[in-house]
Structure 1
Amino acid sequence: MRDPDQVLDQIRVRYGKNWRDWLLHGTETDFAFALAAPSAQMIARDSEVVDRWLRVWRDWLKAHPSARLRTISRRTVVGTQEVFTHLDIPTVDDLVSLDHRLTDHWARADVRWTRLRALPNGVVVQRLRPYLQQIVDMADADFQILHDAVVWFTENPRSGLTIRQVPVLGMHTKWLARNRRLVLACLDVTEQSRADSGQSDEGLEQNDLDPLGLKALPVHVDVILADAADRALVGGLRHLSAPLAEIDALPIRPDTVVIVENKESAYIILDRPRTVVVHSLGNHLNVLSEINWLTGARHLYWGDLDRAGFTLLSRARTRLPRLVSVLMDPATLEEHKALAVEDETRADSPDPNLTATETAALAALSKQHGTHARLEQERIPLPFVFDRLRLALNTIGPDRP
C-alpha cells in the first residue's frame, strides 16, 4: 500500500521526465497513480493497518480537493470493504499543485516558454528542447537579457558591431560567452561544428561571433624587443602592445623568440641580440601561427608549473612544433616546492605533445586526495631563473646563419 509521500515521489519522477514535452506539445490530462490497494486477505488479516491507511488518504484528500480517489469493493471473510485503488489528477496544474517546488518550476517554465514563443523570429520547438532546463534555471535578469538579445539579433542579424556596442541592457562579453549557444538556439542559427579552441569566458573569437553577425575586437599581442637594433627600428620602444596585424608587420627577424605566460616574468628577461619576447597571450595562442617573423626562429616557452601552464604549453607547441620549454621540469618543481600553493582551478587536458620530462613534471603536481600543486613562475628566485634561461638561450642556436 502506497502512502501519499510515496505517490508524491512518483509524481515528481513523472514530472521530471515529461515536463518538457508538456510545455512544448501540450499538457496531458487525467493522470492516474496506482496505490497498491490491499487485497481481501490483507484486509482480513491487518484490518487496523488498512483502516489507518484509509484515514491517511481521506485526510490527505481534504487538503487537496482537486484530486480524486478511485475506489473498489473487496469481499472479505469479515464483510465488504471499500478501499482506494488509484489517485486521479485531472490536469498538469492540479498535478504540480501537490508540491510547491513543482508549482514554482512549472509556473516559471510556462511563463518563460510563452515569452520565447512570442518572439518575432518564432523559435523552433525541438531546437530549444535541450536548453529548457537552462532557461528555467536562469535568474530573472539573465532571462530578460536572453529575451532582449534574441529580439535584437533577429532585427539586426549582420550588425558588424562589437559585443559592447550591442544595445542590449546587461549583455557583456562574459554573459554572451556563457550563453552564446542558447542565444543561437533561440535564433535557430546553426554553426559549423569545430574543435574546441580552448577559449575561456573572458572573451570570444571571431569564429564564435560570426553566427551572430558581430565583430571581435582585434587581438593585441605584447612583445618585448630585447635587441637594441630592433628597438631602433620603432623609435627605441622596448615594450610593444598592438593588434596582431601590426605586430606581424614589425620589420624584425629574430633568431630566438621566448614565449612567456605572464607579464611580470617577461619583464625580467634581459637584453640579448636578435631576441624577442612574446608574453601574456592567455588562450590566444592561435596568433603564434599568424606572426610571420616567428618562422625560422628558435622558440622557448616558459610558463607556470601548474596544470593550466602545461595545457597552454601544449597548445603553443601545437602551433610551433619545435617549441622547447624551460623551467617547467621536475627538478625546478622539486627545488622550489616550498613556494608552491594548492591549485583549486579547473584545467583542461593538454594536447598530446608534451615531452617525457614535461609529463613527469605535470604528474609531480598531483598531491594526495585529488589535490594539485601550483608553482607560479614569478615565485621562482631570480638567480635560479637567470641561470636556467641563460643555459637554455645559449644551448639553442638559430637555424639560419
Structure 2
Amino acid sequence: MRSPDMIIELIHTRYRSTWRDWLLRGDEATFSFPLAAPTAQTIARHSDAIGQWLQDWRSWAKAHPAARLRNAQRRTIVGAQEIFTHLDIATINDLVALDHDLADHWRRANARWARLSALPGGVDAERLRPDLPQIVDMDDADFKILLDAVIWFTENPRSGLIIRQVPVLGMHTKWLARNRRHVLACLNITPKPNASAEQPDEELEQSDLDPLGLKALPVHIDVILADPSERALAGGLRHVNAPLPQIDALPIRPETVLIVENKESAYLIPDRPRTVIVHSLGNHLNVLDQIGWLDDARQLYWGDLDRAGFTLLSRARTRLPHLASVLMNPATLAEHQALAVKDETRADPPDPNLTDIETAALTALSTEHGKYMRLEQERIPSPYVLDQLRRAMDGDRSNEPN
C-alpha cells in the first residue's frame, strides 16, 4: 500500500522526467497514481493498519481538494469494505500544487520560458531543451544578464569587441565562461564539441568567442632570460611578459628551454648560459609550437606531481614531441611523499604519450579507496630541485620520450 508520502515521491519522479515536455509543447495532461490498494485477505488480516491507511488518505485528501481519491469495494469475511485504489489529478497545475517545491519550480519555469520565447529572433525549443534545467535554476540576477546578453548579441552579431567591452551590465569573462553554452542555446547556435568553455574556470579562447562575434585578448607569455648575454639583446630584462608574437620575435637562440608550470618555481632557477625558462602557461599550451626559437633547443618540462600536472605535461608533449620531463618521476614522489597533500580537484586524463617512468609516477599518486595525492612543485626543497634541474640541463636524458 502506498502512503501519501510515497505518492508525492512518484509525483516528483514524474515531474522531473516530463516537466520540459509540458513546458515546451504546452501539453495538458491528466494523472492517475495507483495506491497499491490492499486485497480482501490483507484487509481481513490487518484491519487496524488498513483503517489507519484509509484515515491517512482521507486527511490528506481533505487538505488537497484538487486531487480526487478513486474508491472501490472489497468483499471480505466481515463484509464489504471501501478502499481507495488511485489518486486522480486533473491538470498539471493541480499536480504541482501538491508540493511547494514543485509549484515554485513550475511557476519559475513558466515565467522564464515566457521571457525566453519573447527574445528577438525567437528560440528553438528543442535546441534550448538541454539547457533549461540550469536556466530555470539560475538566480534572478544571472537570468537577467542572460536575457540582456542574448538581446545584445542578436543585435551585434559581429562586434569584434573583447568580453569586457560588451555593454551588458554584470557580464564579465568568468560569467560568460560559466554560461556561454546557455547564451549560444538562446541564440540557436550549436557550439563546437570539446570547447574550453565547458570548464567554468578556464579562459575563453578565440574559437569559443567566434560564434559570439567577440575577440579574445592576445595571449601573453612569461619567460625568464637566464643567460645574461641574451638579456642584453632584450634591453637587460630578465623577466619578460609580452604577447605571443613579441615573444616569438625575441632575438635569442637558446640551447635549453625549461617549461615550468608555476611562476614561484620558475623564479627559483638561477642564471645559466643559453637557457630560457617559459612559465605559467596554464592551459595555453597551444602556443608552444608557435615560438620559433623553441624548435632547435633541448626542451624540458617541470610540473606539479599530480594528475593535472601529468595532463598538462602530455598536452605540452603533443605540441613538442621531444619534450622531456624533470622531477616528475616515482623517485621524486617517494622521497618527498610526506610533503604531499590530498588531491580533490577534477582532472582530465592525459594524452597517450607519457613515458613509462611518468606513467609509474602518475599511478603512484593513487591512494586507497580511489583517492589521490598531489605534490606541488613549491613544496620540494630547493637544494634537491636545483640539483635535479642541473643534472637534466647538463644532459641526463633518462626521462625523454622515445
What is the match of residue 172 of structure 1?
Answer: 172
What is the match of residue 33 of structure 1?
Answer: 33
What is the match of residue 358 of structure 1?
Answer: 358
Aligned residue type for 2:153: F
Aligned residue type for 2:165: Q
Aligned residue type for 2:352: P
> TM-score, normalization: structure 2?
0.91
> Does the 8 Å contact 2:177/2:198 carry over to 1?
no
What is the match of residue 346 of structure 2?
Answer: 346
Per-residue displacement from partner, 1:144-195 (whole Å, max 9, x unpaired)?
Answer: 2212211111111111111111122221111211111111111111233357
In the alignment, the residues of structure 2 paired with residue 305 and residue 243 of structure 1 have an alpha-carbon distance, to the nearest angstrom, of: 29
> Does the 8 Å contact 2:178/2:197 carry over to 1?
no
**CA 366–215 in structure 1, closer or farther in 2 if over 3 Å, else same:** same
Aligned residue type for 1:226: A
**CA 51–176 in structure 1, closer or farther in 2 if over 3 Å, else same:** same
**CA 15–236 in structure 1, closer or farther in 2 if over 3 Å, else same:** same
**CA 76–147 in structure 1, closer or farther in 2 if over 3 Å, else same:** same
- 1:305 matched to 2:302? The reply is no
Range with bigger deviation, 237-246 or 58-67: 58-67
In the alignment, the residues of structure 2 paired with residue 343 and residue 32 of structure 1 have an alpha-carbon distance, to the nearest angstrom, of: 49
Instruction: List runs of 5+ in structure 1 lacking aligned partners.
Output: none
Range with bigger deviation, 277-286 or 256-265: 256-265
What is the match of residue 262 of structure 1?
Answer: 262
In the alignment, the residues of structure 2 paired with residue 172 and residue 44 of structure 1 have an alpha-carbon distance, to the nearest angstrom, of: 68
Per-residue displacement from partner, 1:61-85 (whole Å, max 9, x unpaired)?
Answer: 2111112223344556655544433
Q: What displacement does 1:139 show?
A: 2.0
Aligned residue type for 1:376: E
Aligned residue type for 1:143: F
Range with bigger deviation, 194-203 or 20-29: 194-203
**CA 84–352 in structure 1, closer or farther in 2 if over 3 Å, else same:** same
Per-residue displacement from partner, 1:272-302 (whole Å, max 9, x unpaired)?
Answer: 2222111111111000011111112110111
What is the match of residue 400 of structure 2?
Answer: none
1:86 is paired with a residue of what secondary structure?
A: strand
2:17 is paired with a residue of what secondary structure?
A: helix
Aligned residue type for 2:228: A
Aligned ranges for residues 83-232 of structure 1 at < 5 Å?
83-194=83-194, 201-232=201-232
2:90 is paired with a residue of what secondary structure?
A: strand
What is the match of residue 392 of structure 1?
Answer: 392
> Does the 8 Å contact 1:199/1:283 carry over to 2?
no
> Does the 8 Å contact 2:196/2:204 carry over to 1?
no
> Does the 8 Å contact 1:298/1:396 carry over to 2?
no
What is the match of residue 287 of structure 1?
Answer: 287
Q: What displacement does 1:228 show?
A: 2.4
**CA 77–343 in structure 1, closer or farther in 2 if over 3 Å, else same:** closer
Identity of aligned residues (%): 71
Aligned residue type for 2:16: G
Instruction: List runs of 5+ in structure 2 lacking aligned partners.
Output: 398-402
